[in-house]
């Protein structure tokens, strides 16, 4: 009898279809399994739709959409450490550049095939992250952000100053055809599929983390690290593993980026703006959610492209204004705002402003 009462209170009006939909949106423990199944289903449909989209695009658009997928993957990877765990990694682009340069060096100097190089680059990025993460993950807040930023900048400087290996500032070019090429270039369509798969993997990892025991540990660390440790979470291990996993995904995407670009200069794959874009995408979409990074990455990457085409001078100025407005009016991100609004029925953006106001 008590069970029924609880059911009524938490799920609203049972029996009606609208009541059932509202209950689903509210996310009660009873329908968690169903919600998960629906989430995976929607994800699969989007993935199939993205494959179908490829046939409808012409060459220039294929490249643009590939870039959007790249950012979806990067944002989803950053979300693991930044969103779930709450560690503001501002050096994520370091792993991207590390993956890119590992691939380029292996393909140019050791004539290793792209696929093997990508696997090795992924492992290198993960190991490097574990190595620097072990001491640096003791830091919190801005200090962790600065330390990781320093790591990424140092990596770039190392790459610039090893010209024999990396080509230095003059760049390094991966041979893509003829007898020198370890793997022939994949073509725009090939890279579309590759980036789509990488993005799907990154988002799927986020989906698994969101519902797994480890994911709860990460969110526990985010909310109160001491409490999480007291509950028996090995926080150092959890943080380091997450950091390494996030770096591995980022490194793999960097590897694909290197082969897509074929010529690498140190400035671009270590551009701090790539890190900032990942953070912008995750925060605007909704950090610590599965769909947030995807929505944020698509919106920001597409919006940036739209601005670039429609406003010739000052598109970055508009982007800055949009970021400011979005951060003030929707600081918790779109997905969190939408799910809160569905649960409480409060749509006012001013409530958001009041939340963090002094």
Partner 1 sequence: MSQFLQATVYGLLQGCIFGLVAVGFSLVWGVMNVVNLAHGAFVLMGAYMAFELNQAVGLDPFLGVLPAAAAMFAIGYLIQRGLVNLVVNAPIFITLLLTFGLELLLVNGMLIVFTADYRSIPTDYAAHSITLPGEVHVPVGRLIAAALAVALTVGLSWFVRRTRTGMAILATGMDRGAARLMGISARHVYALTFGLAAALAGAAGAAVGSVTTFSPADAGRFTLFSFVAAVLGGLGNTYGALLGGLVLGVFQAWGGQLLPGTLVNAVAFGALVVILAVRPQGLAGRAFYASRVEV
Which parts of this chain interact with partner 1 (CB under 8 A)? Answer: 82, 86, 88, 90, 132, 135-136, 138-143, 145-147, 149-151, 153-154, 157-158, 160-161, 225-226, 235, 272, 276, 279-280, 283, 287, 313-314, 316-317, 319-324, 327-328, 331, 353, 355-358
Encode 65-134 in three state secondary structure: HHHHHHHHHHHHHHHHHHHHCCCCCCCHHHHHHHHHHHHHHHHHHCCCCHHHHHHHHHHHHHHHHHHHHH
Of 15 and 135, which CB lies nearer to partner 1 in the complex structure? 135
Residue 173 in tokens: 């070019």
Of 20 and 154, which CB lies nearer to partner 1 in the complex structure? 154
d(CA 109, CA 129): 24
- Nearest approach, Cβ of residue 247 and partner 1 (Å): 16
Residue 332 in tokens: 């918790």
Q: Which residues pair with 264 in a beta bridge?
A: 172
- Nearest approach, Cβ of residue 332 and partner 1 (Å): 9
* Burial 23-33, CB ≥16 within 10 A → b, else e: bebbebeebee
- Nearest approach, Cβ of residue 102 and partner 1 (Å): 18
Of 113 and 161, which CB lies nearer to partner 1 in the complex structure? 161
- Nearest approach, Cβ of residue 103 and partner 1 (Å): 21
- Nearest approach, Cβ of residue 135 and partner 1 (Å): 4
d(CA 245, CA 231): 23
d(CA 74, CA 276): 11
- Nearest approach, Cβ of residue 254 and partner 1 (Å): 19
- 143: number of Cβ within 10 Å: 12
Q: What is the Cα Rg of the chain in Å? A: 22
Of 99 and 266, which CB lies nearer to partner 1 in the complex structure? 266
| Side-chain-side CA neighbours of residue 287 (13 Å) | 24
Of 90 and 191, which CB lies nearer to partner 1 in the complex structure? 90
Of 73 and 82, which CB lies nearer to partner 1 in the complex structure? 82
Cα separations in angstroms, 326 against 57, 118, 268, 305: 30, 36, 27, 18
Of 152 and 205, which CB lies nearer to partner 1 in the complex structure? 152
Helix (H) or strand (E) holding 238: helix 235-261
- Nearest approach, Cβ of residue 34 and partner 1 (Å): 31
What crossing angle do the helices spanning 272-285 and 59-78 adopt, rounded to 10°? Answer: 80
- Nearest approach, Cβ of residue 56 and partner 1 (Å): 33
d(CA 23, CA 323): 33
Cα separations in angstroms, 23 against 13, 27, 30, 97, 327: 8, 7, 10, 45, 29
- Nearest approach, Cβ of residue 92 and partner 1 (Å): 13
Of 40 and 265, which CB lies nearer to partner 1 in the complex structure? 265
Maximum distance among all alpha carbons in the chain?
Answer: 76
Of 295 and 319, which CB lies nearer to partner 1 in the complex structure? 319
d(CA 285, CA 334): 5
């Amino acid at each position: 009898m008590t069970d029924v009462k609880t059911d009524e209170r938490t799920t609203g009006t049972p029996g009606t279809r609208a009541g059932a939909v509202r209950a689903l949106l509210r996310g009660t423990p009873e329908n968690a399994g169903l919600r998960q199944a629906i989430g995976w289903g929607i994800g699969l449909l989007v993935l199939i739709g993205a494959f179908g989209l490829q046939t409808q695009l012409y060459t220039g658009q294929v490249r643009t959409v590939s870039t959007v997928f790249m950012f979806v993957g990067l944002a989803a990877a950053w979300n693991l450490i930044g969103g779930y765990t709450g560690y503001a990694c501002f050096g994520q682009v370091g792993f991207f550049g590390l993956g890119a340069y590992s691939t380029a060096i292996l393909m140019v100097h050791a004539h290793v095939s792209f696929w093997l190089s990508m696997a090795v680059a992924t492992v290198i990025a993960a190991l490097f992250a574990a190595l620097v993460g072990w001491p640096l993950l003791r830091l919190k807040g801005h200090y962790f952000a600065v330390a990781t930023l320093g790591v990424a900048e140092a990596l770039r400087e190392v790459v610039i100053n090893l010209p024999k290996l990396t080509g230095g500032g003059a760049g390094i070019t991966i041979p893509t055809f003829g007898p020198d090429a370890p793997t022939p270039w994949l073509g725009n369509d090939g890279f579309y599929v590759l980036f789509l798969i990488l993005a799907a993997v990154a988002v799927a990892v986020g989906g698994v983390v969101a519902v797994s025991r480890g994911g709860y540990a990460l969110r526990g660390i985010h909310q109160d690290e001491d409490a999480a440790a007291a509950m028996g979470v090995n926080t150092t291990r959890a943080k380091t593993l997450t950091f390494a996993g996030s770096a591995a995904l980022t490194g793999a995407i960097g590897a694909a980026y290197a082969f897509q670009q074929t010529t690498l200069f140190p400035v671009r794959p270590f551009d701090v703006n790539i890190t900032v874009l990942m953070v912008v995408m995750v925060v605007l979409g909704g950090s610590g959610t599965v769909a947030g990074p995807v929505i944020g990455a698509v919106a920001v990457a597409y919006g940036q492209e739209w601005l670039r085409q429609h406003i010739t001078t000052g598109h970055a100025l508009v982007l800055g204004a949009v970021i400011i407005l979005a951060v003030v009016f929707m600081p918790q991100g779109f997905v969190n705002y939408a799910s809160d609004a569905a649960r409480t029925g409060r749509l006012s953006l001013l409530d958001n402003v009041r939340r963090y106001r002094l």
